């Protein structure tokens, strides 16, 4: 069953990447994140650093690269290193790349929110219950299919993670990393 699910997710993942025009972060070594750049359509939200994301702003949804995850599920050090690298790559691109300069904030809905919280992302509840259930089931099934350890299937609850462009620059620019 795991092998069937693994093949299904691999095909579905590739179709999703191509169909949504996801991009990787220029300068990234591991290509851990895909970005889906879009216009924000929800109610205005205020992030912890005071950034207000309002309807019409450009945001980027972060999707994890399942091809990289597959060999590193459960490797906490790898997850932290990749989060660090991807955010550092963003911090390099933001001042240099016009496309990144337009992005007000980055977000994801994920089961990996505890890792992201330790790297400066703020964690929020997924307000839409149906969406939370769907993502929880989808991501839990994906984890079950890709995990090498033969664990039992368990549905986990996802959360949203958010980080502003300014906070990425503050935490991950080379000048600030060297302090």
pLDDT tens digits along 52-66: 999 999 999 998 887
Instruction: Collapse the DSSP code of 58 into the 3-class scheme (helix H, G, I; strand E, B; otherwise coil) and give the result.
Output: strand
Q: How many CB atoms lie within 10 A of CB 30?
A: 16
pLDDT number for residue 131: 86
What is the reported pTM? 0.84
Rounded average pLDDT per 10-residue block, the chain, 179 residues: 70 76 86 92 95 97 79 71 89 91 94 88 92 82 69 79 96 70
Burial of 107 (0-12, 13-18, 19+ CB in 10 A): buried
Q: For residue 149, what pLDDT is reported? A: 65
| Sheet containing 122-124: order of strands | 23-24, 33-39, 58-64, 103-110, 159-164, 122-124
Q: Give me the pLDDT at residue 122, please.
A: 97
């Amino acid at each position: 069953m795991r092998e069937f699910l693994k093949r299904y997710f691999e095909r579905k993942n590739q179709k999703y990447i191509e169909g949504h025009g996801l991009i990787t972060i220029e300068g990234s070594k591991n290509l851990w994140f895909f970005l889906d750049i879009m216009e924000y359509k929800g109610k205005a939200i205020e992030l912890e650093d005071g950034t207000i994301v309002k309807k019409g702003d450009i945001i980027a949804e972060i999707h994890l690269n399942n091809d990289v995850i597959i060999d590193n599920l459960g490797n906490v050090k790898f997850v932290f290193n990749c989060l660090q690298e991807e955010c550092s790559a963003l911090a390099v691109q933001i001042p240099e790349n016009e496309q990144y300069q337009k992005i007000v904030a980055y977000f994801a809905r994920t089961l990996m929110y505890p890792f992201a919280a330790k790297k400066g992302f703020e964690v929020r509840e997924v307000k839409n219950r149906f969406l939370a259930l769907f993502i929880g089931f989808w991501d839990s099934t994906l984890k079950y299919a890709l995990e090498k350890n033969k664990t039992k299937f368990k549905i986990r609850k996802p959360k949203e993670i958010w980080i502003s462009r300014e906070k990425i620059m503050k935490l991950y620019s080379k000048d600030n990393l060297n302090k």
